[in-house]
Structure 1
Amino acid sequence: MTAQDAPVAPLQDQMGVGKIVAELRALRTASQKSRYRNGVLPALPSREETRAIVAGLVSTLYPRHFGPPELTPNSVDGFLTYVLDKTLRSLEEQIRRELKLNAHASETPTIDDAARATEITAAFAQSLPKVRALLDSDIRAAFKGDPAARTHDEIIFCYPGVAAVIRHRLAHQLYILGAPMLARIIAEIAHSETGIDIHPGAEVDESFFIDHGTGVVIGETARIGKHVRLYQAVTLGAKRFETDEAGALIKGKARHPVLEDDVVVYAGATILGRITIGRGSSIGGNVWLTQSVPPGSNITQAKARSDSFDNGGGI
C-alpha cells in the first residue's frame, strides 16, 4: 500500500472537533450554573422573532408605507386587526421568556410570568396610539428642519433618523413597562440597521429629529425635551462611571445629559455627564462639553489661531 492509498481520517478527527466540543460543553455548563438557579435552562427571547415583531408593529403604525402594497382604505383596519393579533401574541411570548429568564437568574422567584407578560403586553398595546402621535410630531419636525425633504412620505420611507426613532419609541415603552432586555434587542436591531445607537431608557419628548444620523449615541439616562435636533456623530454620553466600595459599577444612576426644549446639537459634538443644556441653546460641531450651559447659549469651538514663523522661529 502506498502513502496515497492510506485511509484519510475524517476532517473532524484531524481538527480535534470532538475535544473542542467537549471543552466548550464544560465551559458552557460552568457558565450556566453560575447564572441560573438549580442549573435549569429557561428559553431565551428570540432575536429573529423580535425582528419580526418590530416589522409587524411598524407596519401597523404606518400601514400605507410598510404594509402590503394592495392595501386599500377599506382593508386597512382588517389588516391592522390581523397583524396586531399575531404580533401581540408573539410579543407576549417573548416577554414571558424574558421574565422567566430573570426569575431563573434571581435568588428570589418572581410573580407568575404568564400573567405579568399579559399585563405588560396589554399596556404596550394601549400605548400604540400615543406612540403614533409622537412619531407624527417627529416626522413634522424632520420636514420642517430639513430643506432637502420634499414630502412626509419621503421622510417615513427614507430617513434613518426617523427609522431609529420609530423603533426607539416602541422600545422605550417596553423598557418602562418592565421588559428591558426585549427593549434592548429592539434598540440593537435599530442600531445595526441605521448606525444610530439609542438606549431604550432614554426619555425623548415630541418633535425629535436626528438629521443624517450615522454615529449618534444617546445613553440610557439621557433626557431630551421638545423640538430638539441632533446631527450625525453626536454623543450624549456619561463622563465617568461611579463605583462602590468593592469597585463594582453603581448602575441606574443618572449619568447622561439633559437637553431642554429647542436645543440644536451639530455634527460631532460630544456632551458628557449629568449636565443640562438650557432651552434654545445651540451646540456647535465637534464641541466637547462637560458643563451645564444656560438657556440661549451658543457654544462653539475656540477659534483657530494662525501664527507665522520666520528664520527658524517656532522650532
Structure 2
Amino acid sequence: MKSLFIHFFLWLNLININAQSKKVLIFSDSGSSVSDAILIIDNSPKYISDSIGLVTINNIDFDKEITIRHLNFETKRFTKWNLRDTLFLNERKYTLNEVELKSKRKKSKTLQLFPTKNISNSLPKNFGKSSSISQNVEIAVFFPNQDSTKTKIIKKILVPTNDYKVIETLQSNKRSKRKNAKYSPFKINLYTVDSVIGIPKDKKFEEYFVIKCDVDENYAVLELNEDEEFEFTKDGFFVVIKNLTIEEYEELGYYFAPGIDQIGVSKNNKFLPYFRYLYQAEDAKWKKKEYLINRKNIYNIGIEFKEIK
C-alpha cells in the first residue's frame, strides 16, 4: 500500500507535462523504482532512468517501440507505452533448487582469464592511459580456448576503462584530460569465430549490450544471465566493442567515450586485436589491428567463466 501511495504521489507532481515530451516511470513488478534502466529505440540506447526511475521521452519517439534493458531485470519490449504512465519490469528469477541439484552432479569453480602482461608492458611506449577507440571504428579481441579438454561456461566480460589525455592542437602540443571518461557507457557484443580465416563471424546476441564502469570500480562488467551464458568453444570467441554515437552520448549526458586499457604482451600472445570501419556496410571485412600487434599490445579485456569438472 505504501509503494502505491508513493507511486500516486510522484505522478501528482508530474501531471503538468507539455506536448513536447512525456514523463514515464520505470518500476519493478514488486513496486520499487528502477534507476539506470536503458531505453532502446530503433536498436540504439536513447534514454536512461534517473535515481527515482523517471525518464523524459521526446515526442518524436511517441509512436516507436521501446525496449528496456537492465542487468537485474528481464529485457522487455513495449509498443503502446505512450498510453501509460508507468512501465513495469520483471525481476530476473533464479531457482535455488536447480543450482543445488547441478552442483551435486558436477563440481565447478569460477575463474578469470586476461591476457598476460609481459616485460614489454614496462617499456616507455606503454606508459600512460589508452585513449578511446575511434568513433567510426569497431574493435574485436579474440579469446583463444587454450584448454579445450575442460568445459568452460562464460559468465562475465570484464573491460577495464580509464580517463585519458588528448592533444588539443598540433601547433601547441597542448594536452587536456578527458576527466570521468572512465565512467562513460559503450556497446559490447560477442561473436563466434570463422574457423577458416579466423575473423569474427556471427553475433551471439541480436542487440548490443550497453555497459559502463561504476564509480570506484575498475571494470565495466557485462554479466550474462542463465539464458545468455554460453560454452567456450574450441575455436574460441570474440569480444566486440564500439562507442555510442555522439548524439547518444549527448542524450545520456556524457561528453566523451571511455578509454580502453591496453597492456604489453609477449610475441607468443594468442589474444589478437581486430577492427572494422562502421561507416561501411554491416558485413564490412574485419582486419587484424597490425599497429597493436607490432607493438606487442592488446586491449586488456578479460572474462569470468565457470569451469566444470
TM range (shorter): under 0.3
Q: Which has the larger radius of gyration?
A: 1
Q: TM-score, normalised by structure 1?
A: 0.25
Normalising by structure 2, we get a TM-score of 0.25
Higher share in helix: 1
